[in-house]
Structure 1
Amino acid sequence: MEDVKLTPSTEDYLKTIYEITKSNKVVRIKDIAKSLDVKMPSVVNAVKQLEAKNLVIHETYGYIELTPLGEKIGKKLDERHRILKEFLSDVLQVDSTISSQDACAIEHYLHPETVDRVVKFLNFLRLSPDGEPGWLKKFKLYLKTGKKECDKLEDGG
């Protein structure tokens, strides 16, 4: 991602800063700590790492700003999380809270090509001229009943 090497932890910090900037004009250390449920010294350390990679600007005891590169990467991280959560929730029918936790857990380890395929798969489903494919309806019915009830639905996939 932009030739900047980030650990899963620093990715989480950068994504959180990006998310906070979407709703607040300013980002403070305490905002990040609260959002991630971590101690403020941990945030200070992570912000220093992000600053060293030219992803944020932080005046001591001041606000944190994303650099243009930080904003670009933060946006990509945020989109990746949203897409994976959507796949888990909408296609696999995983509970929203669980899908958010799982998306956060797996997003750091998927190859960009895999994430791209998930995006294309979701777009394919959205662009289906007949709406939700029959096989997805059957899967949802199977999750509800535990039975393969194909005769209740027309074969759409």
Structure 2
Amino acid sequence: MPSPAIDDYLKTIYHHTEWQTERITPSQLAAELGLAPSSVTEMVRKLAAQGLVTHRPYGPIALTEAGEQRAAAIIRRHRLIETWLVGEFGYAWDEVHDEAEVLEHAISDRLLEGIDERLGRPRFDPHGDAIPDAEGRVHREPFVLLGQAPAGHVGRVLRVSDRDPDLLRAVEAAGVAVGATVTVTDAGSIRVDGADVPLPEAATAAVWLST
């Protein structure tokens, strides 16, 4: 049955391994959701009983195939809505997350399909995150985190994390957009069109480049 609480858990677990490989631990999940560890432990037990996650005591949590399908479906809704708000209503990319959190549970499948069709079946949202298709499939290029890219690396900006609206605004103010080709200089600094671009230190852990 639909449950925003369950969907939030599944989305968070799904998000954790989109751009890195380490599985999420119960303590990390509790921190991400802002909940007490005891509450998370109880919910994870319920999710495991429903066949949505696999988990052993004190170990990491992984989505089952059913859990990944459900997570991909709600993430598809969220990211299509974000793309729709930016493209059709003039929202900035730092303004859409909270709106999408509300709308993802409210719109019908018919409206979602209409949004997808109107937008031309986009594969990525405004932040560069992949939009799962109706079957839950996604396409991602090989990537490297800005802070881990060596000096001289040239790549396109694939993704900017939407976790911090202030950082999104700072990246936008610097003239860096998803799809831009940049050259890494040193310590996570970049050059765009021959000009050095200052970025906040936090950008090194929030910007992903193509390899």
Residues 53-68 of structure 1 mapped to structure 2, 5 A cutoff: 53-68=50-65
Residues 7-156 of structure 1 mapped to structure 2, 5 A cutoff: 7-22=3-18, 23-123=20-120
Q: Which has the larger radius of gyration?
A: 1
Residues 15 and 78, structure 1, Cα contact 8 Å, conserved in 2: yes
Aligned CA-pair RMSD: 2.0
What is the CA-CA distance between 1:88 and the residue it aligns to? Answer: 1.0
Amino acid at match of 2:80: I
Regions of 4+ moved over 3 Å: none
Amino acid at match of 2:14: Y
What is the distance in 2 between the residues matched to 1:85 and 1:45?
31
Question: In percent, how many aligned pairs have the same letter?
Answer: 28
Residues 19 and 78, structure 1, Cα contact 8 Å, conserved in 2: no
Amino acid at match of 1:17: I
Deviations 1:31-73 (A, max 9, x none): 2222222222222222122112101011111111111111111
Residue 102 to residue 17, structure 1, CA distance change in 2 (3 Å)? same
Residues 80 and 107, structure 1, Cα contact 8 Å, conserved in 2: yes
Please report the TM-score for the alignment, with normalisation by the length of structure 2: 0.53
What is the CA-CA distance between 1:117 and the residue it aligns to? Answer: 1.1
Residues 51 and 58, structure 1, Cα contact 8 Å, conserved in 2: yes
What is the distance in 2 between the residues matched to 1:60 and 1:6?
27
What is the CA-CA distance between 1:124 and the residue it aligns to? Answer: 7.2
Amino acid at match of 1:6: P
Bigger strand share: 2
Residue 71 to residue 93, structure 1, CA distance change in 2 (3 Å)? same
Residue 76 to residue 52, structure 1, CA distance change in 2 (3 Å)? same
What is the CA-CA distance between 1:78 and the residue it aligns to? Answer: 1.5
Deviations 1:124-153 (A, max 9, x none): 79xxxxxxxxxxxxxxxxxxxxxxxxxxxx
Structure 2 segments unaligned to the other structure (5+ residues):
123-211
Bigger helix share: 1
Deviations 1:96-147 (A, max 9, x none): 233111101110122111111111111179xxxxxxxxxxxxxxxxxxxxxx
User: Secondary structure at the residue paired with 1:65?
Assistant: strand
Residue 31 to residue 83, structure 1, CA distance change in 2 (3 Å)? same
Amino acid at match of 1:60: P
